[in-house]
A and B are shown apart, each in its own frame.
Chain A
Amino acid sequence: MELFTIIFYVFALMTLVSASVVVFSKNIVRSAFSLLFTFFGVAGLYVLLMADFLAITQLMIYVGGILVLVIFGVMLTSRQINVDAKTGTIQTLPAVLIAAAIAGSLVGMFWSTDWMHSGSLPDTVSSGKNIGDLLLTSYVLPFEVASVVLLVALIGAAMIARREKKA
């Protein structure tokens, strides 16, 4: 077996197993921590797909930012330590059916489609430089809009979270 194949299966297994722990675990703290391994596995898959810049971004933003925020959310909203950290599930059977139907149809579609191959990335090319070029040429408008969106979102989040209760 090639090295690529082995590493692919390691990261794929890591992603899927920890994602299923996220989804099926009753303990929300355990879910939050296995979300960490899901993000790591996805970052590994990005590296295999020649997206090294995206992999680092994934680690910085998802693991360093979003996951910390989610864990803060868990800590701030569960009533006591170890008392109400469990979360129930509802409508499990219909949800299983819907999720299985979505998974089955997507996998079937991906399996049976003959994707066009108009080219593939060369093996040695720096993704950072090319992404930077694209962001400042073809995608400069979405780039600026995204920065405004981030600013608005951060101000809005601070406003919403800090709002005092009217007595």
Chain B
Amino acid sequence: MSEFINTIGNFLRHPGLTHFLIISALLFSMGIFAILTRRNAVMVLMGIELVLNAANINFIAFSRYTKGTFDGQVVAIFVIILAAAEVAIALAIVLNIYQNFNTVNVDDINQLKD
């Protein structure tokens, strides 16, 4: 038991690759939780942003600790570019839905035309 506590304490004292990966795992599952539970379409978008950020942390952490090149950071730039494009399109769609249905509750929107 004390050996286990020692292992944990040693782990906590030296942040490394695993720490960043665990943070990204927690961020990812919180984003998934927001996507699954929220009824407001804008909140679902925020969940997607959390998931994308978690993926980016993974890319950059692996680039820093295991590969030693900048490829991971370049991929992270592409992820950020696609996130910007995605959120612009998604908010345009949400605004249009709000005009047509007068709600952004994703449960109430079950038609493609009005």
Contact = CB atoms under 8 A, between A and B. Distances in A.
A164 B70 CA distance: 46
Contact of A58 (B21, B40, B80): B80
Interface in B48-66: 49-50, 53, 56-57, 60-61, 63-66
Contacts of B87: 66, 69-70
A153 B36 contact: no
Interface residues of B, number: 73
B2 to A, nearest CB: 20
Contact of B95 (A42, A62, A76, A134): A76
Contact of B20 (A16, A49, A106, A163): A49
B68 A120 contact: yes
B89 A157 contact: yes
Given A90-B37, A107-B22, A165 B27 contact: no
Contacts of B78: 142, 146
A103 B29 contact: yes
Nearest to A158: B92
B39 A90 contact: yes
Given A110-B18, A160-B89, A121 B63 contact: yes
B65 A31 contact: no
Contacts of A116: 66
7 contacts: A35-B49, A54-B76, A87-B39, A89-B37, A111-B22, A130-B70, A135-B74
